[in-house]
Amino acid sequence: MNCLSKLEHPQLDLIHRGKVRDSFRIDPNTRMIVVTDRISAFNMKIKTPIPHKGAILNGIANYWFKQTEDIVPNHVIEQIDPNITLVKEAKPILLEMVVRGYLAGSMWRAYEKGVRTFSGITVGDGMHRNQKFEQPILTPTVKSATDDEISEEEILKSSLLSPEQYADMKQKALALFQRGTEVLAKQGIILVDTKYEFGFLNDELILIDEIHTPDSSRFWNAENYAANPAKAEQMDKEFVRLWLIANKKDGQYVDVLADDVVAETSKRYADIYQLVTGNEYQARTEALLKDIEQNLTKAGIL
């Protein structure tokens, strides 16, 4: 299958290989983010890539970066290939600005065990799984191996950024979430929760990393949610997760997917792309690696 599992080239300087993306140094001010076709589920790396997932996620992120420029400037310089974006190197603020509209995912799992305070925010008793909050809440975490929660008070006491800078970042994160919620609602999608990363470019706060992609956010189908809120599942990964649950080996999840699961998952990403951007996903017709090389050459990188 014509997939991008990772990008390697003797002329490319890899700075970081995450679960999904490979990042390269172009020059001190420029970073190249390659969104591969890798997928993770249950926080586990899956060995089988999903055709088109990388191009779709890169396209979705860049759609949102454009859609939200009026709220906050961002790191995008140029998309030079369906899977690849050149971005401005920023000084990252080591926080993940998590915004949640609903009590779901890891927060629900902790709530169920009795936890009520999250990143310094206390939520009431008697809430149900996947219940909507009256107002979206911000539950920041520290960017580290363990992603620990951090409260606003702790952030303000830390030397991460000044109170004015934090207030600005908070306001922008909430405004981005509101924009995402409104735009997706028109397409029948609920933006359940997401995380933003910001950085400084000179002294200006900019949005970095990715925005409102299925990898950084949870999307629910609004109709499914209305029919049975507690059963709402992440639109993109529901299929993979159910399959993994049904196909455990010796009580463990397998890390290789069956062909039909791969095909269906790929199709679901293409559907999400169309719902989000309003455009049909156009797959490249050229051989993937050859085309990428050509685009890197055109951009003056190879």
CB closer to ligand ATP out of 169 and 232: 169
Which residues make up the interface to ligand ATP (CB under 6 A)? 16, 18-21, 23, 31, 75, 87-90, 92, 197, 199, 208-209
Nearest-approach distance from CB 18 to ligand ATP, in angstroms: 2
Nearest-approach distance from CB 53 to ligand ATP, in angstroms: 13
CB closer to ligand ATP out of 193 and 225: 193
CB closer to ligand ATP out of 17 and 267: 17
Nearest-approach distance from CB 205 to ligand ATP, in angstroms: 12
Nearest-approach distance from CB 137 to ligand ATP, in angstroms: 22
CB closer to ligand ATP out of 22 and 233: 22
Nearest-approach distance from CB 197 to ligand ATP, in angstroms: 5
SS3 per residue for the chain = CCCCCCCCCCCCEEEEECCCEEEEEEECCEEEEEECCCCEECCEECCCCCCCHHHHHHHHHHHHHHHCCCCCCECEEEEEECCEEEEECCEECCEEEEEEEECCHHHHHHHHCCCCEECCEECCCCCCCCCEEEEEEECCEECCCCCCECCHHHHHHCCCCCHHHHHHHHHHHHHHHHHHHHHHHCCCEEEEEEEEEEEEECCEEEEECCCCCCCCEEEEEHHHHHHCHHHCCCCCCHHHHHHHHHCCECCECCCCCCHHHHHHHHHHHHHHHHHHHCCCCCCCCCCHHHHHHHHHHHCCCC
Which residue is nearest to ligand ATP, using beta carbons? 18
CB closer to ligand ATP out of 16 and 128: 16
